[in-house]
Chain A
């Protein structure tokens, strides 16, 4: 890539820039900055689109009381049962149980507190989805 061709497609980096190594008019390598590139912006958008679709499906199920709010927060923070188990300290099978609406409603405040701490929210917020 040559310096004059460095893309400046503002997008996922926000206020920040990325460093690119490119050749200048004399064929020497130089460092330069780019505010983004459209293909990367598209690829990143695709990833979030899929995540948001899945999150909407989970939210729908929570509203129908098929899943607990924990399932929503887990998805929102891009976690799976294994990862949430590592973060919360609960065994996987217990996390899985807590995803059921019926089990979740009977959880103690201490348990909710542990999950809430993982997601940086209050136990009160844990009880429902936004």
Chain B
């Protein structure tokens, strides 16, 4: 068992996204310097899914990333790193188990509900249960936490942390915790990058499931046109705000993770010495900027409360354009890693 991470010593590197960030930070503290975009790419974090029948606090679920836990699992498998994972039924036992491992000086990753984390800004305290953070030490009642999306490490009391670990609702964490147990991995970065890109391409363009991947983006774009008629003006505005938040607010690095993926492709091009990936990176950046353009127009509509049909037509056109561009990009990308 590695003994890295003396009490209260942990290198905190702020990240855009919680899961890729905490995975990257854990690796960094074991001497493997893999940047956040690299982890995001190797872990095949990029995705799109539109699930209108699944409601998140009454709003249609839209996701720009793969399911929680996938990035860590994929990255570990592809780099040959092992981790131990636990879930609990009893909150007290879950905290005692955490204490035991943290007291050995091992940094521990936790899944937590942001609603109960007091250090979060009030404006962001919704019932979002798939947040990931790292506990690296404790001092009496206070736990030292490296929350990757914050500028610096924070402190949280036992009571609050316990509540956050046992948040209820969608994606309930059930006290989930994990730590790296064997980091002697093969460390075959180019191979891992290839596998990461392959899976991302498969999910984005090869699944034949109409609501995920680039097909899902098209579905979303088409559906968007009818939102004002279907849900009424008030709800259409609310849902649109929700779409912007999913894309920009919750630690995506901008453009619904697209800009982070472009950064990954840029890094991958240098690692693999493949200029085609550099070209892909530029195209991905343009797509990310297009998504941001969508957010900009959508926010204007939200602000002016003008849910007229032609406004939504414009948004729909942007999304359909994103869908088409991403379909071409991921098709070309899959050629480069054959």
Residues of chain A whose beta carbon lies under 8 Å from any beta carbon of chain B? 1, 11-14, 16-23, 27-29, 31, 33, 37-40, 42-44, 46-48, 50, 77-79, 83, 86-87
A13 touches B121 (CB 8 A): yes
- Chain B residue total in the interface (Cβ 8 A): 51
CA distance A48 to B298 in the complex (A): 17
Give which listed residue, B150, B242, B245, contacts A40 with CB less than 8 A. Answer: B245
Q: What are some 16 contacts across the A-B interface (CB < 8 A)?
A: A1-B259, A1-B288, A16-B151, A18-B251, A21-B16, A21-B253, A21-B260, A33-B151, A39-B296, A40-B295, A40-B299, A43-B249, A46-B302, A47-B242, A78-B127, A83-B168
Name the residue on B nearest A79 (C-beta). Answer: B127
Find out whether the CB atom of A83 lies under 8 angstroms from the CB atom of B127.
Answer: yes
Q: How many A-B residue pairs have CB under 8 A?
A: 120
Name B245-299 residues within 8 Å CB distance of A.
245, 248-249, 251, 253-255, 259-260, 262-263, 266-267, 281-282, 285, 288-289, 292, 295-296, 298-299
Q: Which residues from chain A contact B259 at a C-beta distance below 8 Å? A: 1, 20-22
Instruction: Let me know if B126 is at the binding interface, CB within 8 A.
Output: yes
Contacts of A48 in B (CB 8 A): 123
| Partner among B14, B115, B172, B244 whose Cβ is within 8 Å of the Cβ of A43 | B244
Residue B60 is within 8 A (CB to CB) of chain A in the complex: no
Measured between beta carbons, the chain B residues less than 8 angstroms from A86 are: 168-169, 172
CB distance from B22 to the nearest CB of A (A): 13
Instruction: Check B238 against A17 for contact (C-beta < 8 Å).
Output: no
Determine whether the beta carbon of B16 is less than 8 Å from that of A18: yes
Given A18-B16, A23-B285, A39-B298, is A12 in contact with B244 using a C-beta cutoff of 8 Å? no
B314 lies within 8 A of chain A by Cβ = no
Query: Using Cβ atoms and an 8 Å threshold, which residues of chain B touch A21?
Result: 16, 37, 253-254, 259-260, 262-263
- Asked whether, in the complex, the Cβ of B151 is within 8 Å of the Cβ of A17, the reply is yes
- B142 beta carbon closer than 8 Å to chain A: no
What residue in chain B is nearest A30 (Cβ atoms)?
Answer: B263
Partner of A20, one of B115, B254, B296: B254
Taking CB atoms, residues of chain B closer than 8 Å to A87 are 168
A27 partner residues in chain B, CB cutoff 8 A: 282
Among candidates A29, A33, A46, A79, residue contacting B241 with C-beta atoms closer than 8 Å: A46
Q: How far is the CB of A57 from chain B (nearest CB, A)?
A: 13
Taken together as a complex, chains A and B put the C-alpha atoms of A48 and B15 apart, in Å, by 26
Task: For the complex, give the distance between the alpha carbons of A21 and B267 in Å.
Answer: 12
Are B127 and A16 closer than 8 Å at their CB atoms?
Answer: no
Return the chain B residue nearest A21 by Cβ.
B263
Inter-chain CA distance A77–B296, complex, in Å, is 29
Q: A50 → chain B, closest Cβ, in Å?
A: 5
> What separation, in Å, do the CA atoms of A1 and B284 have in the docked complex?
11
Known: A1-B259, A44-B124, A86-B169. 4 other contacts (CB 8 A): A29-B281, A33-B14, A39-B298, A43-B298
Measured in the bound complex, the distance between the Cα atoms of B125 and A79 in whole Å is 12
Q: Indicate if B186 sits at the interface (CB-CB under 8 A).
A: no
Name which residue of chain A comes closest to B167, CB basis: A87
Q: Which residues from chain B contact A17 at a C-beta distance below 8 Å?
A: 14, 151
Q: 6 nearest interchain CB pairs?
A: A39-B299, A46-B241, A43-B244, A86-B168, A12-B123, A21-B263
Once the chains are docked, how many angstroms separate the CA of A21 from the CA of B263? 7
Nearest B residue to A82 via CB reads B169
> Chain A residues with Cβ under 8 A from B150's Cβ?
16
Q: Which residues of B contact A29 (CB under 8 A)?
A: 37, 262-263, 266-267, 281
- Chain B residues with CB under 8 A of A13: 121, 124
Kindly identify which residue among A16, A22, A31, A43 contacts B302, using a CB–CB cutoff of 8 Å: A43
Q: Which residues on the A side are within 8 Å of B72 (C-beta)? A: none
Contact residues, B87-112 vs A (CB, 8 A): none
- CB-CB < 8 A to B253: which residues of A? 18-21
A1 touches B15 (CB 8 A): no
In the complex, chain B residues whose CB is within 8 Å of the CB of A42:
241, 244, 299, 302-303
B180 at the interface (CB under 8 A from A): no
Kindly supply a per-residue 1/0 record for chain B positions 10-51, scoring 1 wherever the CB is within 8 Å of any chain A CB and 0 otherwise.
000011100000000000000000001100000000000000
Q: What's the nearest-Cβ distance from chain B to residue A29, in Å? A: 4
B163 and chain A: residue at smallest CB distance: A120
B249 adjacent to A40 (CB under 8 Å): yes
Query: Could you tell me if A28 and B266 are in contact, using CB atoms closer than 8 angstroms?
Result: yes
Task: List CB contacts (< 8 Å) of B123-158 with chain A.
Answer: 123-124, 126-127, 149-151
